Chains A and B, each alone.
Chain A
Amino acid sequence: MERDRARGQRPPPSSSSPSSFSFRRSTPRDSRNFTPSWSSQDEARNRNRSNSDSRGRWSRNPLPQTTSSGGLNYGGASAVQVENAEGSCLDVPSLVGTCPSMCPAQEMAQRERLRDLAVFERLHGNPAKSSPDLAVKKFCRTLSTKDVRSSDLRPLSVLESTLDYLLNLMDSTEEPFEVVHDFIFDRTRSIRQDLSMQNIVDRKAISMFEKMVQFHVLSHHKLRIIKPSPYYDISSLHYLNMEQLVKTLTSLYNLYELNRNPDSVYNNEAEFRSLYVLFCLNPTKGESLALWFRQVPAHVIRSKEMMFARRILRYFRMGNYKRFLGTVAAEASHLQFCIIEPCINQVRALAVSCINNSCYKLHPYPLADLSNLLMMKELEVESLCNACSLDVTVDNGGNKILPTKQANFSHPKTGFDNYSFPYLKQSDKNR
Chain B
Amino acid sequence: MEALYVVAYKIRVLAQRADREVGSSGKLPEKLKGTSSFLMKVFGVLAQKGPKPVGTLYVICQLFKIYFKLGTVHLCRSFIRSIEAVRIFDFEEFPKRDKVTYMYYTGRLEVFNENFPTANHMLSYAFTHCNPHSEANIRMILKYLIPVKLSLGILPQDWLLEKYNLVEYRNVVLAPKSGDLRLLRAALDEHEGRFLRSGVYLAEENLNHS
Please give the residue numbers on chain A whose beta carbons come within 8 Å of chain B beta carbons, in ascending order: 15-20, 22, 24-35, 37, 39, 41, 43-44, 47-48, 51, 71, 81, 83, 87, 89, 288-291, 293-296, 298, 301, 314, 317-318
- Please pick, from A37, A290, A301, the residue contacting B112 in the complex, using a CB distance under 8 A: A290
Once the chains bind, are B34 and A35 in contact (CB under 8 Å)? no
The docked-state distance in angstroms from the alpha carbon of A39 to that of B74 is 12
A39 touches which of B37, B113, B200 (Cβ 8 Å): B37
**Min CB–CB distance A234 → chain B (angstroms):** 32
Whether A35 contacts B70 in the complex (CB less than 8 A), given A26-B28, A28-B24, A28-B26, comes out as yes
Residues of A within 8 A of B118 (CB): none
Cβ contact of B71, chosen from A22, A25, A41, A295, cutoff 8 A: A295
B168 in contact (CB, < 8 A): no
Q: Which residue of chain A lies nearest to B185 when distances are taken between CB atoms in the complex?
A: A314
Q: Is the CB of B199 within 8 A of A293?
A: yes
Which residues on the B side are within 8 Å of A318 (C-beta)? 208-209
Task: Tell me the B residues contacting A by CB distance below 8 Å.
Answer: 19-20, 23-24, 26-30, 32-34, 37-38, 40-41, 44-45, 69-75, 77-78, 81, 111-114, 192-193, 196-197, 199-203, 205-206, 208-209
Per the bound structure, the CA–CA distance linking A87 and B203 in Å amounts to 39
Give the CA-CA distance A81 to B34 in the complex, in Å.
Answer: 13
How many whole Å from B206's CB to the nearest CB in chain A?
A: 8
Which chain A residues lie closer than 8 Å to B19 at the CB level? 31
Chain B neighbourhood of A34, CB < 8 A: 70-72
Structural contact, A20 and B112, CB atoms closer than 8 A: no
Nearest residue, chain A, Cβ from B79: A43
For the complex, what is the distance from the CA of A64 to the CA of B29, rounded to whole Å?
22
| Residues of A close to B26: CB separation below 8 A | 26-28
Question: Given the known A-B contacts A44-B78, A318-B209, are A22 and B33 also in contact in the complex, defined by CB atoms under 8 Å?
Answer: yes
Q: How far is the CB of A87 from chain B (nearest CB, A)?
A: 5
Judging by beta carbons under 8 Å apart, are B196 and A291 in contact? no
* Chain A hits for B40, CB < 8 A: 18, 39, 41
B33 and A28 form a contact (CB under 8 A): no
Distance of A97 Cα from B69 Cα, bound (Å) = 37
Q: How far is the CB of A18 from chain B (nearest CB, A)?
A: 5
Our pick among B27, B32, B69, B71 for the contact of A71 (Cβ within 8 Å) is: B27
Most buried by A among B37, B44, B111, B113: B37
A37 to B205, CA, bound (A): 32
A81 pairs with B197, CB closer than 8 A? no
Rounded to whole Å, the gap between the CB of B22 and the closest CB of chain A is 8
CA distance A35 to B71 in the complex (A): 8
> A290 near B111 (CB under 8 angstroms)?
yes
Residues of B contacting A24 with CB < 8 Å? 28, 30
A31 with B32, Cβ < 8 A, contacts A16-B41, A17-B41, A288-B114 known: yes
B43 to chain A, nearest CB (A): 10
Can you name 16 A-B residue pairings with CB atoms under 8 Å? A16-B41, A17-B37, A18-B40, A24-B28, A25-B28, A31-B23, A34-B71, A35-B70, A39-B40, A43-B77, A87-B38, A290-B113, A301-B192, A301-B193, A301-B196, A314-B208
Chain B, Cβ-Cβ closest to A289: B202
Q: Which residues of B contact A295 (CB under 8 A)?
A: 71
Q: Are B74 and A81 in contact (CB under 8 A)?
A: no
Which chain B positions have C-beta within 8 A of A289? Answer: 202
Chain B residues near A20: list those with CB within 8 A.
33, 37
Give chain A residues whose Cβ lies under 8 Å from the Cβ of B193.
Answer: 298, 301
Q: Across the two chains, which residue of chain B brings its CB closest to A298?
A: B193
Give the docked Cα–Cα distance between A87 and B192 (Å): 39
**Chain B residues near A18 (CB-CB < 8 A):** 37, 40-41
A291 in contact with B38 (CB, 8 Å): no
Instruction: Return the chain A residue nearest B195 by Cβ.
Output: A293
Choose one: A30, A32, A47, A317; the contact of B75 (CB below 8 Å): A47
Q: How far is the CA of A43 from the CA of B71 in the complex (A)?
A: 17
Please, which residues of chain A bring their CB within 8 A of the CB of B71? 32-34, 291, 294-295
One of B27, B72, B112 near A51 (C-beta < 8 A): B72
CB distance from B26 to the nearest CB of A (A): 5
Task: Write out the residue numbers on chain A whose beta carbons fall within 8 Å of the beta carbon of B199.
Answer: 290-291, 293-294
A296 and B201 CA atoms in complex are apart in Å by: 14
Closest residue of chain B to A28 (Cβ to Cβ) is B26
What chain A residues lie within 8 Å of B203 (beta carbons)? 290
Contact of A290 (CB < 8 Å), options: B30, B33, B201: B201
B113: chain A residues at CB < 8 Å are 288, 290
- Determine whether the beta carbon of A290 is less than 8 Å from that of B200: yes
Please measure, in the bound complex, the distance between the C-alpha atom of A15 and the C-alpha atom of B41, giving whole angstroms: 9
Distance in angstroms between the alpha carbons of A81 and B22 in the assembled complex: 15
Q: How far is the CA of A17 from the CA of B201 in the complex (A)?
A: 38
Residue of A nearest to B111 (CB): A290
Which single residue of chain A is at the shortest CB-CB distance from B80? A43
* Cα of A135 to Cα of B78 in the assembled complex, Å: 46
Minimum CB distance partner of A52 in chain B? B74
Determine if B78 and A43 form an interchain contact, defined as CB atoms under 8 angstroms apart.
yes
Please name all residues of chain B whose beta carbon is closer than 8 Å to the beta carbon of A314 when the two chains form the complex. 205, 208
Distance of A125 from chain B, by nearest CB (Å): 49
Question: Using Cβ atoms and an 8 Å threshold, which residues of chain B touch A28?
Answer: 23-24, 26
Write out the residue numbers on chain A whose beta carbons fall within 8 Å of the beta carbon of B45: 16
Closest-by-CB residue of A relative to B25 is A28
Contacts A39-B37, A290-B114 given; 15 further ones with Cβ under 8 A? Answer: A24-B28, A26-B28, A31-B23, A31-B70, A34-B72, A39-B40, A43-B77, A47-B77, A83-B33, A288-B114, A291-B71, A293-B201, A295-B71, A314-B205, A318-B208
CA distance A291 to B108 in the complex (A): 10
Supposing A25-B28, A298-B193 touch, asked if A87 and B34 sit within 8 A by C-beta, the answer is yes
Bound CA span A25–B28, Å: 7
CA distance A33 to B29 in the complex (A): 11
